[in-house]
């Protein structure tokens, strides 16, 4: 199996190279290739990748760009209006899927009664992963969502689409400068933005004043070391989930889609990924 990621960043390169090595060790011969492109070159890169590779993963910021360009949709891509992979059927039909959505659902099912559905969910970001998080948590039963991000218009666009799909759910945009004034009523904080020096949202989040005492911090950035947000959560004895932990659930599902076989279970992947906090 030859597979590629179309991306503009190196954020997931280590993750996918590790996954490729593990699959080879387990008998699934494969090779991973990173296709790094700029925004204007995405359509051409996607067309070439469909002709050359057996499977395709989509990196930032192309999760939202891919879906409108495809003639075939799945029910989940119609809801999400984004995807993180294209799964080939018989090497001819390409279906947009979200491995992250299914990974989040599996993780939520494992957590089960540990989650307080009466509290709100605070999501940071508006990309494909943020959308998958919102959909999975609505389907679990959360009814109140607050979303913050650097671009108010993009966040509002995401919330508008969610309101058209899910009824009886409250969505609200929160300006970054208002995070420190939020009441302590959130059950979960989910950060989907990268750990980079110019991410001005992270200092505002680090106070964690908006979380309930038994709250959860999900920092889904793929980082080798414990992130500052997870460290702060640990110091406050809050529950934590790392980006590589979610990646383990998501990648196991993606491999099953591609091969029809369960080469990897979630525990199999955890030693491969970094910085995993056991559930």
| 227 and 107 within one domain | yes
Within a domain: 143: yes
| 129 and 93 within one domain | no
- State how far the Cα of 273 lies from the Cα of 91, in Å rounded to an integer: 29
| 144 and 44 within one domain | no
| 154 and 86 within one domain | no
| 172 and 68 within one domain | no
Within a domain: 258: no
| 107 and 71 within one domain | no
Within a domain: 37: yes
Within a domain: 12: yes
Within a domain: 145: yes
CATH number at residue 44: 3.40.50.10860
Residue 277: the pLDDT is 41
| 107 and 235 within one domain | yes
Boundaries of domain holding 228: 101-244
Task: Give Cα separations from 87 to 1, 50, 97, 165, 254 (angstroms).
Answer: 12, 10, 7, 24, 9
| 18 and 85 within one domain | yes
What does each of the 279 residues of the chain score in pLDDT, given as a tens digit? 999 999 998 989 999 999 999 999 999 999 999 999 987 899 999 999 999 999 999 998 898 888 888 888 888 888 998 899 999 987 778 999 999 999 999 999 888 878 999 999 999 999 889 999 999 999 999 999 999 998 999 999 999 999 999 999 999 999 998 998 999 999 999 999 876 656 677 777 888 999 998 899 999 988 777 888 899 999 999 999 999 889 989 999 999 999 988 776 655 555 444 433 433
Question: How many distinct structural domains can be found in the chain?
Answer: 2
Lay out the sheet containing 55-58: strands in order across.
Answer: 31-36, 2-7, 55-58, 85-89, 93-97
CATH number at residue 128: 3.40.50.720
Among 52, 79, 97, identify where a domain stops. 97
| 43 and 172 within one domain | no
Is the omega angle on the peptide bond into residue 61 within 30 degrees of 0, that is, cis?
yes
| 221 and 156 within one domain | yes
Q: How far apart are the first and last CA of the chain?
A: 31
| 140 and 89 within one domain | no
Among 74, 97, 120, identify where a domain stops. 97
| 91 and 195 within one domain | no
Residue 268: the pLDDT is 52
Residue 121: the pLDDT is 97
Within a domain: 39: yes
Residue 70: the pLDDT is 83
Within a domain: 214: yes
Q: What is the pTM of this model?
A: 0.88
Residue 196: the pLDDT is 60
Within a domain: 179: yes
């Amino acid at each position: 199996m030859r597979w590629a990621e179309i991306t503009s960043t190196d954020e997931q390169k280590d993750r996918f190279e590790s996954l490729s090595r593990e699959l080879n060790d387990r008998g699934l011969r494969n090779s991973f290739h990173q296709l790094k492109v700029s925004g204007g070159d995405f359509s051409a890169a996607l067309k070439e990748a469909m002709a050359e590779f057996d499977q395709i993963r989509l990196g930032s910021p192309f999760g939202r760009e891919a879906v409108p360009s495809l003639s075939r949709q799945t029910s989940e891509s119609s809801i999400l209006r984004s995807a993180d992979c294209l799964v080939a059927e018989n090497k001819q039909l390409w279906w947009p899927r979200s491995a992250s959505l299914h990974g989040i659902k599996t993780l939520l099912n494992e957590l089960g009664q540990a989650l307080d559905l009466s509290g709100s969910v605070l999501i940071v970001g508006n990309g494909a992963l943020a959308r998958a998080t919102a959909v999975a948590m609505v389907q679990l039963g959360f009814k109140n969502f607050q979303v913050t991000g650097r671009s108010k218009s993009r966040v509002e666009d995401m919330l508008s689409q969610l309101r058209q799909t899910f009824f009886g759910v409250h969505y609200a945009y929160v300006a970054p400068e208002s995070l420190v004034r939020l009441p302590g009523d959130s059950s979960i904080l989910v950060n989907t933005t990268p750990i980079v020096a110019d991410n001005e949202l992270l200092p505002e989040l680090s106070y964690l004043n908006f979380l309930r005492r038994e709250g959860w911090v999900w920092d889904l950035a793929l980082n080798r070391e414990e992130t500052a947000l997870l460290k702060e959560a640990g110091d406050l004895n809050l529950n934590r989930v790392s980006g590589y932990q979610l990646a383990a659930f998501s990648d196991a599902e993606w491999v099953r889609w591609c091969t029809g076989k369960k080469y990897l279970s979630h525990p199999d992947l955890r030693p491969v990924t970094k910085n995993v906090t056991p559930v």
